[in-house]
Structure 1
Amino acid sequence: MITPRFSCSQTENAVIVSMYCPSIRAADVEINVDETLVTVHVNPYFLRLNFSKPLLDDEESSANYDPSSATLTITLTKENKGEVFEDLDLLAKLLAPRKTPVISSPSIEVISTQGTAEEDLVAQAEALSIKDDELAEAEENDWQIPQEVPQDGLPPLNLSKEKHYGFLDMHSGYLKHALHTENEINELGGDAEECTKEDRTSRRLKHENDKFDEEHYMADFMDDECIQELIAWTHPHISDKNTFQYTEQENAAVLRLPRKEYLATDIQTHDLYLTLITLLFSYAYDSRTSQHDPTPESAWTMGNLTPAFTALDSPQSTEYSGGPHVFPRMELVDALVPSYRRSLTFPLYRSFALAEKCRKDVAGFLQKGKRIVMRCLLEMKDIFDHHEVYYIYSKIWLDDFCVWIQADADDEIVKQLGKNLMEAKVDKDLIDWDLDLIETAALQAIDRETDSDDESIDSDS
């Protein structure tokens, strides 16, 4: 079945679904409404939408097909007229499967404890316990207790070294042949499928330390005219004051996303927000250095700046205590430090001031809400999708993130995260490369050159 292009709007009393369905027979349209779930089937198209509030298929509802525009327009009555249906522009949220109810209490009631499994286990444990007479016999024989080979053999061993990674650790196998491709982003080499979380972090840190170039950093610090121009630029997604509306191209990209339901725990959801910051940082850096005009190097740049891509090392909570999603300042700083380090190590422009501006860009995206965040992720995804090697990072991260942002992310949490991030401050000491000393040495070198020039002028005169 084909998922058609569609859009949703509303009036005070109804929700209107418009579907692009060329070459269909209007008489074959089947519409089913089950409270918040609406399904539409007309060969070869099928659409299933989950709304936030109930609808009715009553006498006031209607379905009309316009052959000239190939548009099927379905009008469904709101069960509670006057209600406002939110997020009708978030197509991924409408397409997401209906949430599976969580059973919070046992579905089987224990009537009697007679002959329960617990009693059987206790009886078996007692049978295996060493009796007093056996203890006496063992003591007499220098504690040489008789032993027998287990009849059922040893428990099976897990011989697989494969580890999962990506969004909610749902993926594996994408980097099995990394050594046979021109994947310059992958820092784990042929061990990418086997590295533990600890290995990924340690390898990432070592690679960053090995690649950091003091002379390159000092040169960009001393001659920063071009970097200051990049810093002065304003991202259009932050400066745009117009009412937000997804473009037709963006809606088409959303319809191509996978249909998934994510059963994330509270701490997993918390960590997703932290990972989101690092993705947006990479996007912000490339957008700022390319003036929002992607280059053939954009995928490489964003990939190398994203720890979750290059080392499969996504940030994890250090201060999470359950309950509402609260993001302490130091937790946000810890999540961003790897992004800062990488921005000072791999791309063309290596400036701490530029990294700070990218942090503020990320905060600006988040404060605008999840629709702007989704737009940023879609642009990032489009760049990776069109790369012959790096497209795998869309598969293991960006596809799922785009679905999650629209369907599951909380808009208020996203905005609060942006506010907290704007107030956070990454100290240079946390980078571990003595940046203050390097900058001081650069300034002293400039002063010595100035003094030398002055002495030369005095001697000539």
Structure 2
Amino acid sequence: MLTPAFTISQDEEFVTVVIKCPYIKAQEVEFFINDTEFKFYVRPYFLRLTFPASIIEDGREKASYNVDRGEITVLLPKATRGEEFPDLDLITKLMASKSGPPGPDFRLSSEGRSVEQLAPPRDSQKPLIEVIGESPVLETDGNQADSMISDEIEEEFNWDYPQEVPLQPELQTGARYGFNNAYSGYGTHVEHLTQEILDITHIDTSTPSTRKEARIAREDAKFDDEYFMADFVNDEEIQRLIKFRPDFWKALKRIQKAKSSADPGNSATAPVSTPEGEQNFSESAPGPSPASAIDSPWLTFTEEEQERMRQLPNKEYLLDNGRAIYLGLVDIVYAYCYNYRTTEGESTVESPWTIAKLSSTLSCFDTFSTLRETLIASIRRTLAYPLHRHFALSLRCIEDTAILFKLGKRALLKVLLEVNALIGRDDRMYVLSTLWLTDYCVWIQRANDKMLQSLASELNHISISKQETGWPLEELEQVAQEVTAELDEEERDSDSMERSYLS
């Protein structure tokens, strides 16, 4: 069966689903409504949506078929008039199945306007879209979190509390890696990446500790003192990139300004001007609500992004190590931010390499236990691999990452969809989409909002020093300044001698 393209909107009384399905027989269209679940079927299309609140059949439900446009428009009455259905733009989340008893069915009439009641015909069949890994420990409100950390959600979460993964070699049947350690046996599929992208070898016999050791060793070997000093001294282009204002900065500013206008007494939501005239987005300001997020143009999903979401698999996850998943997200988003800032929002043919190489998750299959450890690894890779290697640029990318987390799961989903598309289209590294990015795109739609905002706050507060990189950056900067001063003095002496000779 094919999943049709569709869009969803709502008003106070109805949820409206517009389904693109040209060249069908209207008489064969079947619908199904049961509490929060809506099903649509007409050969060869099948669509199942699970809404965050209840819809009902009370005689107001309508369906019509526009033959010219090949679209079916279905109006589904809300059980509670005026209730706001959140996350209707997160279509992969809506496409997840829901177990429950069958309800009545209805069919679009041949005239394409009225709805007729039918007996439920199809519920005994096996669902055409299955939920993988469904578990009763998942939160019932749709905000999913790892069972290991769900008890801490209501409290401030400490992202720098160290955590060790217990080693049980007797239970291991092979190296596990990828999202949620769900994959193994991909060694032959990634061999071609070991020279250009991956910093690890023999992936199927590796362990988390050996992967981390290999990453650090490769970074130490790649770090170039002279390259770093050259970028420190000749930084005109880098300083221009540091001053660049990404679209998502502007999106957060507009959202916070709108909130401040709506609630003039709430100064916490207003951006604060810094001495340089830039906007400092206060970590105390709440993230955007679903309504304000949808109203922001940058956070509205394009047709291409909606199509990418429709192509995602329907999965739910019981996370083995929720902390590592969230911190891996920080790592990937940081790499995206570096690419976005250094290309000024216009990705190039080198962007897949840049993102994959700067992400320890993608290039080393590394996992982290603290936020500080995650950011140090990101900075080290920024100073070792890409075109522009500058510590201040790294700190700016951390600010970008904090803003994306403050914008919430829609912004993060847009980032992951773009990264997945960039890397998935690259013949060298498409396997990384399978191992990491596709799962991240599915999972983020159910990620816990409080955990994301907690990370946003920590990213705003955290401070990484140059010494923590493990390299003598301050000494190298001092040497670079001294050499530059000597060269300037020699140039001045040479100019003076030349003027004396000419006179």
User: Does TM-score exceed 0.5, indicating one fold?
Assistant: yes
- Using the alignment, how far apart are the partners of 2:341 and 2:137 within structure 1? 47
SS at match of 1:293: coil
Does structure 1 conserve the Cα–Cα contact (< 8 Å) formed by 2:192 and 2:428?
Answer: no
Shifted more, 350-359 versus 11-20: the winner is 11-20
241-250 vs 288-297, which moves further: 241-250
Q: Give the match for residue 56 of structure 1.
A: 56
TM-score (normalizing by structure 1)? 0.80
Report whether the alignment pairs 1:347 with 2:386.
Answer: yes
Whole-angstrom distance in 1 between the partners of 2:26 and 2:175: 50
Matched, 1:301 2:380: no
CA shift for structure 1 position 296: 1.4
**Correspondence for 2:231:** 220
Q: Is this contact kept in 1: 2:8–2:88, CA < 8 A?
A: yes
In 2, Cα distance between equivalents of 1:81 and 1:386: 44
In the alignment, which residue of structure 2 is the partner of 1:257? 312
Q: Who is 1:314 aligned against?
A: 367
SS class of match (1:176): helix
Q: Is the 8 A contact 1:13 1:78 kept in 2?
A: yes
Contact 1:66 1:72 in 2 (8 A): yes
Return the letter of the residue paired with 1:62. Answer: K
Quick check: 1:205 aligned with 2:216? yes
Q: Deviations over 1:165-222 (max 9, x none)?
A: 1110112233324335686112222x01220001100111111111111111011111
Describe how 1:22-61 pairs up with structure 2 within 5 A.
Answer: 22-61=22-61
Matched, 1:172 2:184: yes
- Quick one: which amino acid aligns to residue 277 of structure 1? V
Q: Is the CA contact 1:333–1:426 (under 8 Å) kept in the aligned structure 2? A: yes
Q: Percent identity?
A: 34
Alpha-carbon spacing, 1:180–1:458, altered in 2? closer, same or farther (3 Å): closer
**Contact (CA 8 Å) 1:182, 1:389: kept in 2 or not?**
no
Equivalence map 1:332-343=2 (5 Å): 332-343=371-382
Cα separation, partners in 2 of 1:257 and 1:183, compared to 1, 3 Å: farther
**Are 1:184 and 2:196 an aligned pair?**
yes
Distance in 2 separating the partners of 1:181 and 1:224: 32
Q: How far 1:159 sits from its partner (Å)?
A: 11
Give the 3 Å change call, closer, same or farther, for CA 179–85 of structure 1 in structure 2.
closer
Whether the 8 Å contact between 2:189 and 2:431 is mirrored in structure 1 is no
Q: Partner of 2:377: helix, strand, or coil?
A: helix
Which whole-Å CA distance do the structure 1 matches of 2:428 and 2:77 have between them?
48
1:430 paired residue number: 468
- Cα distance between partner residues in 1 of 2:195 and 2:308: 25
Taking the aligned partners of 1:333 and 1:159, their CA distance within structure 2 comes to 31
**1:216-295 aligned within 5 A:** 216-240=227-251, 241=254, 242-243=296-297, 244-264=299-319, 268-295=321-348
- SS, match of residue 416 in structure 2: helix
**TM-superposition CA deviations, 1:95-149 (whole Å, max 9, x none):** 1233846279xxxxxxxxxxxxxxxxxxxxxxxxxxxxxxxxxxxxxxxxxxxxx
| Contact preservation (8 Å) 1:65, 1:73 | yes
Q: What's the CA shift for 1:448? A: 1.8
Q: Would you say 1:418 and 2:456 are equivalent positions?
A: yes
Q: Give the aligned residue type for 1:185.
A: I
Amino acid in structure 2 at the alignment position of 1:24: I
User: How many pairs does the alignment contain?
Assistant: 391
What's the Cα RMSD here?
2.1
Cα deviation code 1:227-258 (max 9, x no counterpart): 11111111123224444321111101110111
Aligned-pair CA distance for 1:36: 1.3
Looking at structure 1, the residues matched to 421 and 315 of structure 2 have their Cα atoms a distance apart, in angstroms, of 20
Is 1:77 the counterpart of 2:77? The answer is yes
1:146 aligned partner = none
Residue 263 to residue 103, structure 1, CA distance change in 2 (3 Å): closer
- Gaps (5+ residues) in structure 1? 105-156, 317-330
Deviation at 1:6, TM superposition (A): 0.9
Distance 1:350 1:271, change over 3 A: same
**Once the 2 structures are TM-superposed, how far is the Cα of residue 57 of structure 1 from its aligned partner?**
2.5
Matching of residue 162 in structure 1 with residue 201 in structure 2:
no
CA separation of 1:21 and 1:361: change in aligned 2, threshold 3 A = same
Query: Following the alignment from structure 1 to structure 2, what is the Cα–Cα distance between the partners of residues 69 and 182?
Result: 49
Shift of 1:26: 1.6
Q: Is the partner of 2:487 in helix, strand or coil?
A: helix
The residue aligned with 2:274 is none
Aligned mate of 1:440, from 478, 488, 491: 478
Q: What SS does the aligned partner of 2:439 have?
A: helix
Equivalence map 1:78-117=2 (5 Å): 78-98=78-98, 100=134, 102=136
Tell me whether 174-183 or 370-379 shows the greater mean CA deviation: 174-183
User: Aligned partners of 1:50, 1:263: CA distance in 2, in Å?
Assistant: 20
